[in-house]
Amino acid sequence: MEFTDGDTYLSSFDSKAYLTSFCCLGSERDGILKFRMRKLYETFGPGGITGDVLIDIGTGPTIYQLLSACESFPYIFASDFTDQNRQEFEKWLKNDPEAFDWSEIVKTVCEIEGKSSDKWEEKQDRLRSRIQKVLKCDVNKSNPLDPVEIPPADCLITSLCLETACKDLDAYYSAIRNITKLLRPGGHLVVIGALGNTYYRVQQKDFFCLSLREDTVINAITQAGYKVLSMDVFSISEREAHSNTADSMANFFLVAKKS
pLDDT band per the 50, 70, 90 thresholds, residue 236: confident
Residue 5 and residue 208: Cα distance in Å, rounded?
A: 9
Annotated binding site for S-adenosyl-L-methionine: 18, 64, 80, 85, 138-139
The 10s digit of each residue's pLDDT in 62-106 is 999 999 999 999 999 999 999 999 999 999 999 999 999 999 999
Annotated binding site: 18, 64, 80, 85, 138-139
- pLDDT value of residue 127: 99
Buried b (16+ CB within 10 A) or exposed e, 196-231: ebebbbbeeeebbbbbbeeeebbebbeebbbebeee
- pLDDT value of residue 241: 55
- pLDDT value of residue 48: 98
Q: What share of the chain is helix, strand, coil (3-state, %, to 5)?
A: 40, 25, 35
Question: Amino acid identity of 116?
Answer: S
168 with 210: CB under 8 angstroms? yes
Looking at domain 6-258, what is its CATH homologous superfamily? Vaccinia Virus protein VP39 (3.40.50.150)
- What are the boundaries of each domain within the chain? 6-258
Mean pLDDT (whole number) for 53-57: 99
- What mean pLDDT value characterizes the chain? 96
Question: Amino acid identity of 203?
Answer: Q
Contacts of 71 (CB under 8 A, 6+ apart): 44, 45, 113, 126
- pLDDT value of residue 29: 73
CA angle 221–222–228, rounded 5-degree value? 80
Contacts of 255 (CB under 8 A, 6+ apart): 43, 49, 188, 189, 190, 228, 229, 230, 231
Per the omega criterion (within 30 degrees of 0), is the bond before 147 cis?
yes
Q: Is the pLDDT of residue 243 over 90?
A: no
Mean pLDDT (whole number) for 223-232: 99
Following CA atoms 151, 154, 155, 161 in sequence, which dihedral angle do they give, to the nearest 10 degrees?
Answer: 20
* CB-CB neighbours of 42 under 10 Å: 17
> In this structure, are strands 250-258 and 131-136 parallel, antiparallel, or unpaired?
unpaired
Mean pLDDT (whole number) for 10-23: 96
